[in-house]
């Protein structure tokens, strides 16, 4: 397989947006939203794609300020490529980047009914910390909030500030 992970570019937006619609339906991020994220401050964002000979097979995004907390904003793989390790590889890259930025805590939200993704996150050390009722719109599905701590906290925990997580944005 000639797949590589690389930074997401503006030219990837249409392909990623098409995957969003297939994988997330009414909760998909729009091309405009994706383009906005692409131009957001690179010091706070990190978006990558899995590129298989020019075909995007998956993508992931991280919100991570240096020395603060990090949030996995999105993670997805084309359905016909599930189970090949692409999702795990993307997540590992996001976690490596979070660590590189000195973020010892990584948070994410995942649908309570998304067993497959939850299993992936648990295997990477994420644990459940709460439920956000009706988080995903327009379906109103609850989100499970998960957290991964890579190092013992040095001081008082920072409050989990509201980030730009999947589902918080309404089209
Ligand atoms: C969740 C998702 C990103 C996983 O991507 P993937 O490329 O299939 O992931 P991987 O092949 O790396 O497998 C990762 C884990 O998924 C789980 N998994 C793999 N195959 C599975 C199966 N048939 N059934 C259930 N879980 C499975 C395993 O825990 C696996 O970890 P392991 O390899 O250590 O055993 C992908 O299914 C996806 O895009 N889903 C739709 C979008 C989505 O839900 N994104 C998450 C939003 S929070």
Question: Residue 166's pLDDT band (boundaries 50, 70, 90)?
Answer: low
Q: Distance between CA atoms of 153 and 158, rounded to whole angstroms?
A: 10
Q: What is the residue extent of each domain of the chain?
A: 3-149
The finding on whether 85 has its CB within 6 A of some atom of ligand 1 is: yes
The predicted structure's pLDDT at residue 150: 87
Atom number in ligand 1 closest to CA 122: 29
Q: What percent of the chain has pLDDT over 90?
A: 81
CATH topology for 3-149 is Aminopeptidase (3.40.630)
What is the arithmetic mean of pLDDT over 106-111?
Answer: 97
- Measured in Å, residue 78 CA sits from the centre of ligand 1 at 11
User: Where is mean pLDDT largest: 30-39, 72-81, 132-141?
Assistant: 72-81
């Amino acid at each position: 397989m000639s797949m590589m992970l690389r930074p997401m570019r503006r030219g990837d937006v249409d392909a990623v947006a098409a995957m969003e619609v297939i994988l997330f339906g009414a909760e998909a991020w729009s091309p405009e939203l994706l383009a906005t994220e692409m131009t957001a401050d690179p010091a706070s964002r990190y978006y990558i794609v899995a590129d298989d000979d020019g075909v995007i097979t998956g993508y992931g995004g991280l919100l991570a300020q240096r020395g603060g907390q990090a949030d996995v904003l999105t993670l997805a793989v084309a359905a016909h490529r599930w189970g090949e390790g692409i999702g795990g590889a993307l997540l590992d890259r996001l976690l490596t980047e979070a660590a590189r930025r000195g973020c010892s805590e990584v948070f994410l939200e995942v649908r309570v009914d998304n067993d497959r993704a939850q299993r992936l996150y648990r295997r990477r050390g994420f644990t459940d910390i709460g439920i956000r009722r009706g988080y995903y719109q327009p379906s109103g599905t609850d989100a499970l909030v998960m957290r991964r701590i890579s190092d013992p906290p040095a001081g008082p925990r920072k409050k989990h500030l509201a980030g730009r997580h999947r589902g918080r944005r309404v089209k």
